[in-house]
Chain A
Amino acid sequence: MTSRDYDDVPGTYVFDSRNYRKGYHLNMFCMSLNKAECREEFARDEKAYLETFPMTAEQRQAVLDRDYIRLLQLGANVYYTFKIVSHDRQPPQVMYGKMSSPPMSFDEFQQMMINGGRPIDGNRSKKES
């Protein structure tokens, strides 16, 4: 696969054609949660609802586990995983915190942002970290 100059940016998953292809059905599942009737069906039986999408077993498990960083590694885009955290009626900071390295609670992530956010210095390039 073609490498890209942004592959050097640490902790970052650019939604390019590589992730588009890998995550297509996973993202389409996430997107389906825009519809109230799909949200209800998912809430009734998460496993059964996930079976209706041609996703990989690994992708389904990561959804069930709410393992957000794994979802990104399996081709999801954060605007799509947003639909899962919204479905769970949780603020997005819960998801951002779980994806962070090391992971953070809602309060820890919120506090980091109030303190001025994650610093860019030291986070520009894999060579730095």
Chain B
Amino acid sequence: MARLIAGMGTSHVPGVGAAMDNGKTHEDYWVELFKGFEPLRAWHAENVPDVTIVVFNDHATSMTLNHYSTFMMGVADRFRPADEGWGPRKVPVVEGHPELAWHLVENLILDEFDMAVTADFDVDHGLTVPLSIAYDQPAAWPTKVIPLCVNVIQYPQPTALRCFKLGQAIRRAIDSFEEDITVGIWGTGGLSHQLGGERAGVVNPDFDRNFLDNLVHDPMANTRLTHTDFIREAGAEGIEMIMWNVMRGALDEQVREVYRLYHIPVSATAYGAIILENE
């Protein structure tokens, strides 16, 4: 049977990918962050699952105003890095896992989570930057990936509770997949940040720390946050943090925190990462 081994939460700031792609990680601005990636990468090197479900969002790249969906599963064999306006990142093509992806779609819909499906989706920094954070610059990504795209841009985004429940349903579906494979799940985006408006650059370390602590010990507390709580306290773009709830919902009730990283600033954001193992 398939087995979910661990979850990671990480911000997916495009600047991190650009720093790697342009060989700038030794610069003063980046040194401390990339030092913080070392233990995270060491853990990932020892814990590569056969498939990783990456919960991420598209940023006006492959999904836009004329068609968008709240939750969308990528069922293709492969997903190309997208041109987001400055040419595609020169990182490996992302290999999918259509068997598990379709198993998830079927089970989730029968479980009353009405997923949209895509077989043609170029993936932007929301998905490729977490891969770069975890695996650095390999010739090919060591894990297959199922992209799970969440609308976090167009209000109203799914609620924090709905995201958590989706994670729980994903777990039920993983547990019923008959092939003997290991699975990981990542929630990406955040932490507190606001990019647009006169308040651009606002961050909230207290809110972030509380969110991270609750993620480990009291995940239901993070499901009670409203849209306006996120917008007000974590910045308009901080609402990306709901995607971490999908990851957390899929894990066991009790988890072990393996690693945590928090760093301000990365571009205009508070960067956060956490690795959680099932107990």
How many residues on chain A are close to B (CB under 8 Å)? Answer: 54
Mostly helix, strand, loop or mixed at chain A's interface?
helix
User: Beyond the given A9-B236, A14-B155, A86-B85, could you list 6 further A-B residue pairs with CB under 8 A, ordered by the A residue number?
Assistant: A11-B198, A17-B155, A78-B196, A96-B201, A120-B233, A125-B232
Interface string of B175-211 (1 = CB under 8 A from A): 0000000000000000010111111111111110000
5 interchain pairs, CB-CB under 8 A: A6-B228, A12-B197, A14-B155, A79-B195, A113-B264
A56 within 8 A of B: no
How many residues on chain B are close to A (CB under 8 Å)? Answer: 44
A14 CB to closest chain B CB (Å) equals 5
Kindly identify, within residues 65 to 83 of chain A, every residue whose CB is under 8 Å from any CB belonging to chain B. 69, 72, 77-83
B60 and A124 within 8 A (CB): no
Chain B positions within 8 Å of A, measured between CB atoms, are 15, 59-61, 64-66, 82-87, 153-156, 192, 194-207, 227-228, 231-233, 236-237, 264-265, 267-268, 270
A81 to B59, CA, bound (A): 11
Residues of A within 8 A of B83 (CB): 34-36
A39 to B85, CA, bound (A): 8
Residues of B within 8 A of A53 (CB): none
- The count of A-to-B residue pairs whose CB atoms sit within 8 angstroms is 148
Mostly helix, strand, loop or mixed at chain B's interface?
loop
A99 within 8 A of B: yes
Residues of B within 8 A of A16 (CB): 154-156
Nearest B residue to A89 via CB reads: B86
B64 and A123 within 8 A (CB): no
B86 and A28 within 8 A (CB): no
Q: A16-B155, A117-B265 are in contact. Are A10 and B198 (CB under 8 A)?
A: yes
